[in-house]
Amino acid sequence: MSPKITGDLLRQLRQAMKNCKYFAEPIQAYIIPSGDAHQSEYIAPCDCRREFICGFNGSAGTAIVTEQYAAMWTDGRYFLQATQQMDNNWTLMKMGLKETPSQEDWLITVLPENSKVGVDPWIYAADQWKNMSTALTSAGHSLVAVQENLIDAVWTNRPKRPSTQLRTLGLEYTGVSWQDKITALRAKMTERKLSWFVATALDEIAWLFNLRGADIEYNPVFFAYTVVGMNTIRLFIDPNRLSDPALRDHLQLDSPSKPELSIQTFPYELVSSELQAICAALGPKDKMWICDKASCALTQVIPKSHRSPIPYTPLCLAKAVKNATEIQGMKMAHIKDAVALCELFAWLEKEIPKGTVTEISAADKAEEFRSQQKDFVGLSFPTISSVGPNGAIIHYRPLPETNRTLTENEVYLIDSGAQYVDGTTDVTRTVHFGTPSAFEKECFTYVLKGHIAVSAAVFPNGTKGHLLDSFARAALWESGLDYLHGTGHGVGCFLNVHEGPCGISYKTFADEPLEAGMIVSDEPGYYEDGSFGIRLENVVLVVPTKPKYNYRNRGSLTFEPLTLVPIQVKMMDTELLTQKERDWVNDYHRKCREVVGAELERQGRKEALEWLIRESQPIV
Amino acid sequence: MSPKITGDLLRQLRQAMKNCKYFAEPIQAYIIPSGDAHQSEYIAPCDCRREFICGFNGSAGTAIVTEQYAAMWTDGRYFLQATQQMDNNWTLMKMGLKETPSQEDWLITVLPENSKVGVDPWIYAADQWKNMSTALTSAGHSLVAVQENLIDAVWTNRPKRPSTQLRTLGLEYTGVSWQDKITALRAKMTERKLSWFVATALDEIAWLFNLRGADIEYNPVFFAYTVVGMNTIRLFIDPNRLSDPALRDHLQLDSPSKPELSIQTFPYELVSSELQAICAALGPKDKMWICDKASCALTQVIPKSHRSPIPYTPLCLAKAVKNATEIQGMKMAHIKDAVALCELFAWLEKEIPKGTVTEISAADKAEEFRSQQKDFVGLSFPTISSVGPNGAIIHYRPLPETNRTLTENEVYLIDSGAQYVDGTTDVTRTVHFGTPSAFEKECFTYVLKGHIAVSAAVFPNGTKGHLLDSFARAALWESGLDYLHGTGHGVGCFLNVHEGPCGISYKTFADEPLEAGMIVSDEPGYYEDGSFGIRLENVVLVVPTKPKYNYRNRGSLTFEPLTLVPIQVKMMDTELLTQKERDWVNDYHRKCREVVGAELERQGRKEALEWLIRESQPIV
């Protein structure tokens, strides 16, 4: 992987920063966040501005360019990748290390007095704006909104915003009609005495209307905004999409059942002016709910006195707690996904000795097997297929220039998932096709112990996920090891593979209490730079459980694995496992054999079934 | 315990709320926090306003009185106690339970439109003000500062502010002179480009000047403020205290070694006007450091443009990391404290069968034994000496009307500690003098497992205490049990028994990363309402440790128990312990026997020594 050459681009950007065409005065620094106007994690090519300017294409990172410096902040998953993708015009700022300054502190250190720091307010969240602005102001600088994006100004041939065909989802997939979701939303609004709600997150809008798109690779969403009042629903979307009769029928555009469920559509670009018009007509007590992660530009359209900012929208919370139909769909999707992975591993065992399987071809094969399953739509994120040292690059994506061959000598880590119409999957397995070293086994076993400690944890109702994070690390910590990423994220149902507001992380923000019906990943790891990477990931469902006692009638929760793919026993140092942990592995493998075995049998996939039976034998 | 009768008082307070003598307009609600002007947890009698108005005398709680309602918020430690101490004019608001509204939400629900909510700005922290004010404003109400305290207005015979004799501490106790502490503080100020620092926390001021007082029971502090500039030190304190020649000499009041180490003294009451004068002379870039927990009244003296609020002051952080002299002193204090407790338990075993020992007499005896130890100053908090059902009242304090007799039939919990000139102690043991029930043993063992899980935890440098909290709960959670308090708090060195900025709690605020030299408590518990309470508390020192590996050279930490008092084996269901846990208990008991045994021998306390030897036998 050779770094992107950025000297010329930075020169042009710095000229734009001084050009009064864009802002009345020269600006001394320009912030380039990685998001789009909807705070999406995965973004469309037209929104990949941070990648365009610095070359780094990971999912998280913020670049800041000053007259003299160019720096890019990202987290531990991406340190190696960012080093490889950025040329030496750029300084990598390793977030999470003690010595790394925050963006604010760094700006304050490097900027001349009374500097102006610019940012595009459409891709900067209102809460980010507030924090950054406060910090800069207190140091004598100021944060300014530059309406035209300066990266777009220097980006020739920037791609167009996508507008893909929309898919309607019936009750057999969603469990609840969009009309009922609107009604439930309005009930929440009434409860909180709010008259309006502004939705900006693409997955929330897709979930609300039981629609899916393909505007952003891997994420079945579409570009839109929604503003819901007590008697009105406004949907901002490319009008070209609305000619599809199935869609018109689904949204009842031509014959709404009730006036308050009639959807008015507007072009996507008009959200700001229409919101302005709504605000102009607000009564003195009318309040609008908007997520504090919504764009600064849209948030500031709402006068402060009418604004009721919230860390999570009611849609975000409602979407996170899956209903029975969604849970059933997620279970089906995970069984199909396990079938594909059993096939993959059986195939790999046969093919690897021939020396012809590479990271890329293995990833392609995994996709091929998945695509044979019913209702397959696409991958849920770029497959991380990594051999040996590449496994230590936490969000590695194989490229022709880094592509390694799978052998019997190195650890292989594959983190992959798919979108099916009935659910979204995300699974990581780490395997060895020869004989793993004692150290590899030791690390794998610590990771496994951490995985089990979370998966088998019993905890009271109302517990936040961050309180479980250390369970995943305790065995690693005891040996002086750790991993620099969170332990789990929320998973959508045929939606984004990463979703809020729950998760399992040492980071305590964005963390609503776990509730029965929530679905998260459990994925501790260990990464030995330059040598190997280990990660074990299951998607798990939060379920009620009844331990011996029930203190203060609070009730208890635990997790039920939805992912049902054997964990390689060969990689375990079973001596290091407690009896309880061995029992967990055996129970898990029995369930894999029963549930996935039946499906493999049904589909007549014999070799995969043999592999599954062999790999799910109990350990003693 | 009979509740305080508050009908008349509330009537008077409500009249004062409407009286324009105190505030220009009638106020519809009045907030009575539990703190003093220094945000102290323990407070002097003159500051016990919340207790005066509602009767509840626990260490944490906030009362709010409206025209119609009177409500008091406190946490799980105090639910039972508050119920017993408040009459039915008051509603108990159980913090931490899902159904309990926050103070803000409750006010918004009960207040008529456009209400004014009053508070004394001297006893309300700046950050509390901000949060409350924002919430009230967004609901159409307002928070107003009532300069004269309305409780004081209705409190006849309110006690005077204490002004006790001050004690100077030499280098043999502090390890660092106050002059060097000032120099280190100024270095931090230079590093952060700040020209002034305002200290309001009493323990920080005592620590800074190597002085101790006795103004607040159990906490060896004195009422004062300090403002430190780059060349000046201003100390605000009762002038009567300054006549002591030893004190004048210690502070070099008459012959400062260097001009920048010369201390100017001012009467305590002048802090506000003098700070105003300092602020009037500030240059445009001068910034003042003040804790965001400092009083709203004092904070607002500093113009916003000059204010640099911080969650913890540099003194708070420096004080938390004990130096070698302080650690040595804390170790000595804990050995002496263990001697006293061994004596107590040996004595209890002898006396209990006679039926004459009560919660109060046992607590008195514990104090008597402690007072025989060298450099004993007093208790570090009111002894919690509780039998059977009283043990379930987490911060119980025996009173004549609740006093139970210790018997061979009920669990006895004693949580006690002392101030010695060389250190502060805090220890809880739960014991049975007859035969505990299987359920009592089961719960005790889960608590012990939690205690050990924290005490023996190995974790990376930079870990915050809240990440360890669940380790203490995992065994309880697995059986559906829990406890409604944090697991540990920072402990001062001959200072407050509760101090920041580190701790071990599911609450994630006020939580700086653990560092070698910090001292915290490890005290999980289990409370069966109406039946018994269990808590196991050691004070532990954060120490570096070297596990097998050292990921990214971050280094690892663990805890070393300073408390060395046997944990009753009779209360353990040793079948439930793992081999590792049994080893921990045996190692711990061996250390108790060696270290405390030697001191008991030296002091010639034979019965206690016999008790120690018997109680520290290894389990198998």
- Which of B211, B128, B112, B123 has the alpha carbon at shortest distance from B164? B211
Q: Which residues of B touch A556 (CB under 8 A)?
A: 477, 480
For position A606, what pLDDT does the model report?
97
For position B122, what pLDDT does the model report?
96
C-alpha distances (whole Å) from A342 to each of A53, A385, A565, A609, B286 are 41, 16, 7, 7, 66
Check CB contact under 8 Å for A470 and B467. yes
Dump pLDDT digits (tens) for B319-370: 999 999 999 999 999 999 999 999 999 999 999 999 999 999 999 999 999 9
Q: Is A113 left (phi over 0), alpha (psi -120 to 50) or beta?
A: beta
For position A510, what pLDDT does the model report?
66
When CB atoms are compared, the residue of B140, B468, B549 closest to A480 is B549
Dump pLDDT digits (tens) for B2-51: 899 999 999 999 999 999 999 999 999 999 999 899 989 899 999 999 99
Dump pLDDT digits (tens) for B128-150: 999 999 999 988 999 999 999 99
When CB atoms are compared, the residue of A481, A548, A551 closest to B549 is A481
For position B27, what pLDDT does the model report?
97
- The predicted model gives B393-403 an average pLDDT of 90
Check CB contact under 8 Å for B482 and A468. no
Q: Is A509's pLDDT higher than 70? A: no
Check CB contact under 8 Å for A549 and B481. yes
Task: Measure the CA–CA gap between A13 and A47, rounded to whole angstroms.
Answer: 17
Q: Is A92's pLDDT higher than 70? A: yes
Q: Is B1's pLDDT higher than 70? A: no
Q: Which residues of B touch A480 (CB under 8 A)?
A: 458, 546-551, 556
Interface probe with A: pick from B108, B286, B306, B479, most Cβ of A within 10 Å:
B479
For position A10, what pLDDT does the model report?
98
When CB atoms are compared, the residue of B458, B466, B546 closest to A478 is B458
Task: Measure the CA–CA gap between B510 and A569, rounded to whole angstroms.
Answer: 43
This prediction's pTM: 0.91
Question: Which residue's entry shows tokens 């913020």?
Answer: A62
Dump pLDDT digits (tens) for A332-368: 999 999 999 999 999 999 999 999 999 999 999 999 9
Q: Which helix (H) or strand (E) holds A561?
A: strand A556-561
CA distance A130 to chain B (A): 15
Q: Is B259 left (phi over 0), alpha (psi -120 to 50) or beta?
A: alpha
Compare all CA atoms of chain A with the CA of B578 and give the residue at the minimum distance: A578
Check CB contact under 8 Å for A471 and B469. no
| Average pLDDT of chain A, as a whole number | 96
- The predicted model gives B554-581 an average pLDDT of 98
Q: Which residues of B touch A549 (CB under 8 A)?
A: 479-481
Interface probe with B: pick from A94, A446, A470, A515, most Cβ of B within 10 Å:
A470
| Alpha-helix residue ranges (DSSP H) falling in B456-507 | 469-478
The answer to whether B229 and B195 are in contact (CB under 8 A) is yes
Q: Which residues of B touch A551 (CB under 8 A)?
A: 480-482
For position B292, what pLDDT does the model report?
87
Portion 471-510 of B in contact with A at CB < 8 A: 471, 473-474, 477-482, 506, 508
Dump pLDDT digits (tens) for A417-465: 999 999 999 999 999 999 999 999 999 999 999 999 999 999 999 999 9
Q: Which residues of A touch B470 (CB under 8 A)?
A: 459, 467-468, 470-471
For position A7, what pLDDT does the model report?
96
CA distance B460 to chain A (A): 7
For position A59, what pLDDT does the model report?
82
CB atoms closer than 10 angstroms to residue A217: 14
Q: Which residues of A touch B468 (CB under 8 A)?
A: 470
Compare all CA atoms of chain B with the CA of A506 and give the residue at the minimum distance: B467
Check CB contact under 8 Å for B550 and A480. yes
In chain B, the largest separation of any two C-alpha atoms, in whole Å, equals 74
Long-range contacts of B582-591 (CB under 8 A, 24+ apart): B582/B619, B582/B620, B584/B452, B584/B455, B584/B456, B585/B448, B585/B452, B585/B619, B586/B618, B586/B619, B588/B561, B589/B615, B589/B616, B589/B617, B589/B618, B590/B616, B590/B618, B591/B561, B591/B564
The answer to whether B432 and B482 are in contact (CB under 8 A) is no
Q: Is A1's pLDDT higher than 70? A: no
C-alpha distances (whole Å) from A155 to each of A8, A121, A160 are 12, 18, 12
Name which residue leads in pLDDT, B117 or A292: B117
- Which of B388, B360, B387, B381 has the alpha carbon at shortest distance from B427? B381
Size of interface A-B (CB pairs under 8 A): 82
Residue B304 CB contacts under 8 Å (≥ 6 apart), including other chains: none
Polymer length in residues for chain B:
620
Q: pLDDT band for B127, please (50, 70, 90 cuts).
A: confident
The answer to whether A163 and A244 are in contact (CB under 8 A) is no
For position B395, what pLDDT does the model report?
81
Q: Which residues of B touch A460 (CB under 8 A)?
A: 477, 482
When CB atoms are compared, the residue of A458, A466, A480 closest to B478 is A458
Question: Which residue's entry shows tokens 């030897």?
Answer: B613
Token pair in block for residue B157:
């015979």
* DSSP per-residue string spanning A91-112: EEEETTSTTSPPHHHHHHHHSP
Token pair in block for residue B541:
């020192």
Phi, psi of B378 (to 5 degrees): 170, -175
Task: Measure the CA–CA gap between A140 and A120, rounded to whole angstroms.
Answer: 21
Task: Measure the CA–CA gap between B596 and B613, rounded to whole angstroms.
Answer: 10
When CB atoms are compared, the residue of B466, B482, B547 closest to A479 is B547
Q: Is B83's pLDDT higher than 70? A: yes
When CB atoms are compared, the residue of A140, A459, A546 closest to B477 is A459
Portion 434-473 of B in contact with A at CB < 8 A: 457-460, 462, 466-471, 473
Residue A10 CB contacts under 8 Å (≥ 6 apart), including other chains: A53, A65, A70, A89
Task: Measure the CA–CA gap between A315 and A208, rounded to whole angstroms.
Answer: 7
B96 touches chain A (CB under 8 A): no
The answer to whether B391 and B534 are in contact (CB under 8 A) is yes
- The predicted model gives B551-560 an average pLDDT of 97
For position B510, what pLDDT does the model report?
66
Q: Which residues of B touch A470 (CB under 8 A)?
A: 459, 467-468, 470-471
Dump pLDDT digits (tens) for B231-240: 999 999 999 9
Interface probe with B: pick from A454, A464, A471, A477, most Cβ of B within 10 Å:
A477
Interface probe with B: pick from A452, A478, A484, A514, most Cβ of B within 10 Å:
A478
Cα angle for residues A358, A359, A365 (degrees, 5° grid): 85
Q: For the purposes of burial, counting CB atoms within 10 Å of the CB of B504, is it exposed (0-12), middle (13-18) or buried (19 or more)? A: buried
CA distance B526 to chain A (A): 10
Q: Which residues of A touch B478 (CB under 8 A)?
A: 458, 547
- The predicted model gives A259-277 an average pLDDT of 97
A551 touches chain B (CB under 8 A): yes
Cα angle for residues B495, B497, B502 (degrees, 5° grid): 100
Q: Is B178's pLDDT higher than 70? A: yes
A285 touches chain B (CB under 8 A): yes
Portion 123-182 of A in contact with B at CB < 8 A: 138, 140
Task: Measure the CA–CA gap between B528 and A418, rounded to whole angstroms.
Answer: 48
- Which of A425, A429, A428 has the alpha carbon at shortest distance from A376? A425
Polymer length in residues for chain A:
620
Check CB contact under 8 Å for B480 and A550. yes
The amino acid occupying position B526 is Y
- The predicted model gives B246-250 an average pLDDT of 97
* Residue B190: strand, helix, or coil: helix
C-alpha distances (whole Å) from A123 to each of A43, A120, A237, B71, B238 are 11, 6, 18, 44, 56
For position A508, what pLDDT does the model report?
74
When CB atoms are compared, the residue of A308, A470, A506 closest to B471 is A470
When CB atoms are compared, the residue of A458, A468, A508 closest to B508 is A508
Compare all CA atoms of chain A with the CA of B114 and give the residue at the minimum distance: A285
Q: pLDDT band for A570, please (50, 70, 90 cuts).
A: very high
- Which of B100, B108, B112, B54 has the alpha carbon at shortest distance from B76? B100
The answer to whether A420 and A376 are in contact (CB under 8 A) is yes
- The predicted model gives A499-505 an average pLDDT of 94
Q: Which residues of A touch B505 (CB under 8 A)?
A: none
